[in-house]
Structure 1
Amino acid sequence: MASHPLDTGLTPNRAAALVAGTCGLAAALLVLWIAGSLVAAIGFLAASIILGGGVIAWRMLARPAPDPERLIDWSLARAVAEASRDAVAVTDRAGRLVCANDRYEALFGGFPTPPSLPLDSGTAELGAAGRAAWRDGTGAVARLAIGTNRLTAEVVRAGEEGDMLVWRFPTLAEYDAVETVTGSMATTMGDRLGSAGIMMALIAPDGRVLAANRVLSARALGRSDDHLDGRDFARFLITDDRGLVRFEREGLEGNPLRLIQVPFVDADDAPVLIALLDEEREVAPALGAGAGALLRHLVGLMPLGVALVDRDGRFVQMNDAFVRAAGASSGTPPLYPGDLVVREDKAAVADAIRRFASGASHSADMAIRLKTNPEEPVALTIAGARGLGDAAVLLSLKDNSEESRLKREVAQATKMQAVGQLAGGVAHDFNNILTAIIGHCDLMLMRHSPGDSDYDDIQQIRTNSNRAAGLTRQLLAFSRQQTLRPQILQLPDVVSEVSNLLKRLLGETVKLDVTHGRNLGPVRADPGQLEQVVVNLAVNARDAMLGGSARGGGTLTIQTRSVSAAEVRRMGTDIMPPADYTALIVTDTGTGIPAEVLPKIFEPFFTTKEVGKGTGLGLSTVYGIVKQSGGYIFADSRPNEGATFSIYLPVHAAAAAARTKAPKTLKPAETWGSGTVLLVEDEDMVRTVAERALARQGYSVLTAENGEAALELLSTSGRPDLLISDVVMPAMDGPTMVRKVRAQYPDLPILFMSGYAEEQLRKSIDLDNVSFLPKPFSVQQLAEATRDALSGR
């Protein structure tokens, strides 16, 4: 084996020079020996030296660029992470922690590797968010708990090769204020509050002190060099028979205290801010201008909307959060709390403020409706205040507009899910009925020939049954439970297939404009379902243009284009993860969709057409097909500017499947067969028509109405050639029965039939080598599926 130049300690250039010199000397000696000419030999030697020098020079000039191995400057990454106030960490594909900032170390007590963090709650959700980030590009957790901290988590897949996860842990806004107040207790701010006679403490949910200013520690402990942190706050206080509170160290002769609980954070497990004031004015100095400024500063720190009201019911102070939550104008703030609420709530608010201003010591919550948003009730917390100068009542108002929006979205999603499940169940039951109708029509058509008096009537029944089957497919498409036959395809090919149909549907007054982009990536979807998407969108656009245009026409534009992952990031959408997509954009020049209607257009049975002119399933079907295909759809519209529907389907990156020859069309005679078929179906009408259809094809048919009956029949009849079974049956379902049968006959062919989607069923059926026949089916389709299952196709 040849050794590398490094084996001898020579550099590549020196090795090349040595080889060139040796070869030149050998050539010169050979010329001298053959030609006997010293001059020629010297010439050969010189030429060899020159040639070797040229080779060395060429190697040095053409030295290949260093391997562009991706190098990461982790010192720079850490410096960037340190610029964030949040805890930030980076992990690699192997799950190792490669970078984290100081805030991360302080929060988690070191450098544990996410998602295995010392959390009090949310560990499972954090792991799920990490897996979602590897899969979709992003993941998030709404709430995590560690000690007294409440966090959210945002996980993003990053890196040129997508092999890193960036974990960011922002503290919830209200808990940021908790940290701010905690840090301020031991600083000059805490001392200035103490000099004004205000003793402050931040109490954890378990009653232990998180932070306290020095005045409170000195009064409670009797020493100024000690602190209360970590101690049980209640053990330093006592109450007398009149309910007055005093320090335990000072005894019953000590000055009574007024405890004010500030509604600091709106959460059951949040810390509580307590202010203690001496009841006797001669003991504690009255609040002066300096203390009032401190009080305003403290109120301004509150993350919740906080306001102070005097005994006459007028506002003394309100912080910015209160102004935002109440929807008040910062330029001209209201004088009274009643100015913020609707007329029906004014009296209740005024009575509550009057009651607490007169001495009520507890706090209370009441639901009010603000003038700025009368449809959304908000919670107003009212508490009495003493020793705060002119202030007699403390009000707290939380801005829950975002929470209300999320609640509406969750309610809408829950409603859509329930309707989808209902639609899928209705479609499944309806498919059983249609299977029986279509099957009986096929059997009757076998006994009649064209021209018979009954032939046309039977054919009409069958046609209408097929139309009803199309309606059930729309219901299943909406509920994402239809059976798809996905293929690798190009969107321009799908649009071309339906272009002629679209021209006939749109009519003469609507112009069709089709444009295709370049470098479109392939997508994986059912071509027939995508054609239905294009047709449904085109028909809706046509109705919008013909119904709202004075000239009764317009232009329908269908465009395809490629969308890169970088473009998706620039879009800034939280719904669609960054990836490469192929987009299908359908635009019309109609009157547009009203803003109040736009959020409802994908709901089932929602339509703006007249009664009897629309089912309300067109766009919901489009939505179901797109989502079941793994894509995303967005609708955008402005008044009198038409509407635009943008569909994004992910580019299929897997290697293209090998082309297979299309199966030849079989003649009806080729569906005849022989053998024993066990048919298991709980619906009598479906079982009857399937039994008759299989018997006419030459099979010997055994029937059972459920799984238990099928197992009993097998114990006496022996092994059949094929088992045909419904999937969903009472008592024992099809897959459970098949597992028991396969234990006895491992190689028995299985043909499942169901009105539910094959994709949904295969996720719950862990069986190999099973075929599937969707309902409703015709006699011919049942015969072909039986023949294919028996032949092992």
Structure 2
Amino acid sequence: MASLPRLPTKPDDTRGAALFAIGGGIAAAGVILWLIGDLTVAAAFFATALVIAGGLVAARRLFPRAKAGEIEPDWSVARMLAASSADAVAITDRAGRLICANDQYEQLFEGFPTPPGLPVDPAGIEQLSNAGRAAWRDGSASVARMLARGRPLGAIVERAGELDDLLVWRFRGAEGLDMAASVEAMIAGPTGDRLASAGIMTALIGPDGRIRQANRVLRARAMGHEEGAISGRDFARFLITDTHGQVRFEREGLTGVPLRVLQIPFLDGDDAPMLVALLDEEGAGAPPAIGASASAHVRSLVSLMPFGIALVDRDGRFIQMNDAFARAAQVDAAAPPLYPGDLLVREDKGVVADAIRRFANGATHSTDLAVRLKDHPDEPVALTIAGARGLGEASVLLSLKDNGEETRLKREVAQATKMQAVGQLAGGVAHDFNNILTAIIGHCDLMLMRHTPGDGDYDDIQQIRANSNRAASLTRQLLAFSRQQTLRPQVLQLPDVISEVSNLLKRLLGETVTLTVKHGRNLGPVRADPGQLEQVVVNLAVNARDAMLSQNARGGGTLSIQTRAVSAAQVRHMGSDILPIADYIALDVADTGTGIPADVLPKIFEPFFTTKEVGKGTGLGLSTVYGIVKQSGGYIFAENNRGGPGATFTMYLPVHTAPIYKEGTTPEPVRTPVAKAKPVDLWGTGTILLVEDEDMVRAIAERALSRQGYTVLTAEHGEAALDVLANNDKPDLLISDVMMPVMDGPTMVRAVRARYPDLPILFMSGYAEETLRKSIDLDNVHFLAKPFSVQQLAEAARTVLTTKP
């Protein structure tokens, strides 16, 4: 993402200051003149006042101040939304400046030019300029077609912002031009040759009547040889019409074979190209009619079309449908239904029947309808209906777009967006719960210091503490889902992880479930936390076991685990909007259970969602898997097995590439960190400044540190801590929360370090240390994760104070 935040401005307010300076200069000059009577010195004072006034005006115009209270706009949300869009997106302000643009925009235009001055054809620049003005006036505008380095594009311009002071420019491939280019390539390629072998002459005619492409048999008939340069020639110049209205090639004269001309409007719009097919008539001099041979040519033409086409007679019955139409309608092309309405839900049958009847009776142009297939009523499809002329018994032409893949991609994008939002919510909830659990566990620890195992309340306090620790483990799972847990990644081989956990899996699955493991070849290394990956495999295996158990009381079935390499070319062929193009190592975990119901599949990774009975699951198993995979830089998908029972979870981890070292140098050896021994004596002396916005956490931490012999100063936020430091001597240790109102911990620490550079810092937070270190650019700081016990706080304080920087 590239961004350029706007600078807020304020109306010029220098007139008063300038007048004040000039007035002061006049007064000073008058006093000097009265006191010493020297006109030269008085004039010098007056000239100095004029220079000061001019300097004020120039400074204010060069460096305008922001409006009071105006906050610099936060463009992070806009940049995140633009980055998640599959379109090329740019945002400009009222002054025409480029605010931000996503990576697709940079790739499309090879940089960050400012709309409408883009590298497109001259007509496109003019259309973009007109669309921008229309968007400022009307709120939105669009450009249907333009060319960027030969690539067809469409654009949508919308007015946005709280003050309607922004324009959002979206660029995407123009579908019509892409389809026209595809048809043009097909006519010139093997498809055009197959049509020529069947005696069908085809040409793509532009809106100006000139030929864009023609197959070889048409070139041979129209020009006398197949290699004739026919592109760009006027199509009508090659044809003549006799007194009976029959069409022939001009080169063959009136004695040539009559032709039947079929026009196929596969795109809407007056400037759209036209697909034309020419067929030889049966019998010279006969009235134009399609005989058996010509009808066969039409059927061949329809069957070879790359888009879904079906022919319907005057009574509304199917005559023919090609394979593309059958795939889109999910029916057998060899045994199609009798009427188009048989494909649709009951509510849409009447609308389609009326439209077919209207076009069969001579209606022109075409119409697009959004209809629902009876087998998939939740996913509307686009049906185009047009009248057909010169196709014998066929009077209506239907075109159905297969948007199943498009619908799947939209569903994946929507699911990923929802999971990101839920993850942010889960992380915030876990952070708040960690604060509450810190206070509960701390008070339990303090009470246990006053009770012995023989007391009546001791067991109750221990039970409260145990339940608090159990709740803490749930918050850790929430942090895993929200990708905010602490990971310790290593470079490893995925088959090694599977081998480590295989024995555990056999015990978990039981004797009735067969475990099969298969590893692919040429598997590259991945960088991940091995312990967390083992948890992923175990959770997926247990989930699969439960699915097979619900299908069979004996719990029988097969669990298959497979690793394989997925190249960037394979990812590109998959066409996923979620998975970036790169080399991956995939892990497939497949079972032979009941599969995943369609209504459950979109929610499968959501936290607290479970299909188990009440009390038999927290709903955090698969959400934890999702968080671990995403935090490791990978992706995970769930789908039902095609052609068989069960479901498959597929995890993609990017292949780790080692850094390249210059010749003659050796890489730094990998060092395994050695755990520091915990201090035995927790008693300490000195002054500790404790900064925490949660009252209950601050109170328990103050009591815990005071019991260990420290003098504790407290503050509820960063600004209060700075006031405490200003009125007291330098403390020996600063313990602070990270996220606080008014002033957060890192900002406060930067201000403190300016005064005390060597002051040791201990941060405590409910978020993961790994996540915090990415956003905190401070040296010599330590972390303590919430929730913590009284002893853990004392150990952390003692360790930091005894550690040399």
TM-score by length of 2: 0.57
Gaps of 5+ in 1: 1-119, 129-143, 152-169, 216-224, 232-257, 278-284
**2: CA distance, partners of 1:485 / 1:642:** 33
**What code does the residue aligned with 1:770 have?**
V
Q: What are the Cα deviations for residues 481-516 of structure 1, in whole angstroms up to 9, with x where unaligned?
A: 21224467899998999999989x859978999999
Aligned AA for 1:366? Answer: L
2:430 to 427, 448, 451: 427
Pick closer, same or farther for the CA change 1:228–1:469 going to 2, 3 Å: same
Match of 2:87 in 1: none
1:83-102 matches, cutoff 5 A: none
8 Å CA contact 2:489–2:530 kept in 1: the answer is yes
CA contact (8 A) 1:488 1:524 kept: yes
Identical counterparts, % of pairs: 63
Distance 1:339 1:775 in 2: 62
- 1:414 maps to a residue whose letter is T
Partner of 2:474: 471
**Aligned 8 A contact 1:150 1:175 in 2:** no
CA RMSD between the two structures: 5.8
Task: Give the match's secondary structure for 1:365.
Answer: strand
Q: Is the 8 A contact 1:174 1:304 kept in 2?
A: no
Which range moved further: 706-715 or 441-450? 706-715
Taking a change above 3 Å as real, the CA distance of residues 211 and 536 of structure 1, as seen in their structure-2 partners, is closer
Q: Greater CA deviation, 363-372 or 526-535?
A: 526-535
Q: In 1, distance between residues paired with 2:527 and 2:295? A: 68
C-alpha displacement of 1:642: 9.1
1:434 Cα deviation after fit: 0.7
- Aligned match of 2:695 in 676, 681, 684? 684
**SS of match in other structure, 1:610:** coil
Letter in 1 for 2:678: T
Per the TM alignment, residue 773 of structure 1 is displaced from its structure 2 partner at its CA by 1.8
Task: Name the SS for the 2:386 alignment partner.
Answer: strand
Q: Determine if contact 1:592/1:641 at 8 Å carries over to the other structure.
A: yes
Cα distance in 1 for partners of 2:463, 2:452 equals 14
2:786 is aligned to 775
Relative to structure 1, the CA distance from residue 586 to residue 435 in structure 2 (aligned partners, 3 Å threshold; closer, same or farther) is same
Distance 1:269 1:753, change over 3 A: farther
CA distance in 1, matches of 2:186, 2:534: 61
Aligned length: 579
> Would the aligned equivalents of 2:522 and 2:565 in 1 still touch at CA under 8 Å?
no
What is the rounded CA distance, in whole Å, between the counterparts of 2:350 and 2:557 in structure 1? 58
Q: For residue 786 of structure 1, what is the amino acid of its counterpart?
A: A
- The answer to whether residue 671 in structure 2 is matched with residue 663 in structure 1 is no
Partner residue, 2:776 = 765
Q: Please name the residue that 2:182 is paired with.
A: 177
Summarize the alignment of residues 367-766 of structure 1 with structure 2, pairs less than 5 Å apart: 367-385=370-388, 392-486=395-489, 525-526=528-529, 529=532, 532-533=535-536, 536=539, 592-594=593-595, 596=597, 599=601, 602-630=605-633, 657-659=670-672, 661-667=674-680, 669=681, 671-717=682-728, 719-766=730-777
Q: Which amino acid aligns with 1:174?
A: M
Q: 8 Å contact 1:322–1:398 — kept in the other structure? A: yes
Q: State the distance in 2 between where 1:681 and 1:295 align.
A: 80
Aligned mates of 1:259, 1:556 — CA distance in 2: 57
Gaps of 5+ in 2: 1-102, 112-145, 154-174, 219-227, 235-260, 279-286, 659-666
The alignment partner of 1:729 has SS state of: coil
User: What is the rounded CA distance, in whole Å, between the counterparts of 1:520 and 1:721 in structure 2?
Assistant: 52
- Asked if structure 1 preserves the Cα contact closer than 8 Å seen for 2:536 and 2:628, the reply is yes
Classify the secondary structure of the residue corresponding to 2:677: coil
Equivalent in the alignment of 2:360: 357
User: Is structure 2 residue 337 aligned with structure 1 residue 324?
Assistant: no
Match of 2:116 in 1: none
- Cα deviation for residue 430 of structure 1 reads 1.0
2:206 alignment partner, SS class: strand
Letter in 1 for 2:593: G
Q: Following the alignment from structure 1 to structure 2, what is the Cα–Cα distance between the partners of residues 398 and 495?
A: 43
Secondary structure, aligned partner of 2:777: coil
Q: Distance in 2 between matches of 1:389 and 1:180?
A: 28
Instruction: Say which of 206, 226, 243 aligns to 1:202.
Output: 206
Structure 2: how far apart are the matches of 1:514 and 1:386? 60
Distance 2:556 2:515 in 1: 11
1:498 to 1:408, Cα distance in 2 relative to 1, 3 A: closer
Given residue 456 of structure 2, which amino acid in structure 1 is its aligned partner? Answer: S
SS in 2 for 1:449: coil
TM-score between both structures, scaled by the size of structure 1: 0.58
Seen in structure 2, the aligned counterparts of structure 1 residues 378 and 768 have a Cα distance that, compared at 3 Å, is: same
CA distance in 2 between counterparts of 1:490 and 1:582 reads 12
> How far, CA to CA, are the matches of 1:549 and 1:200 in structure 2?
59
User: C-alpha displacement at 1:423, in angstroms?
Assistant: 1.8
Query: How far 1:366 moved relative to its partner?
Result: 1.6
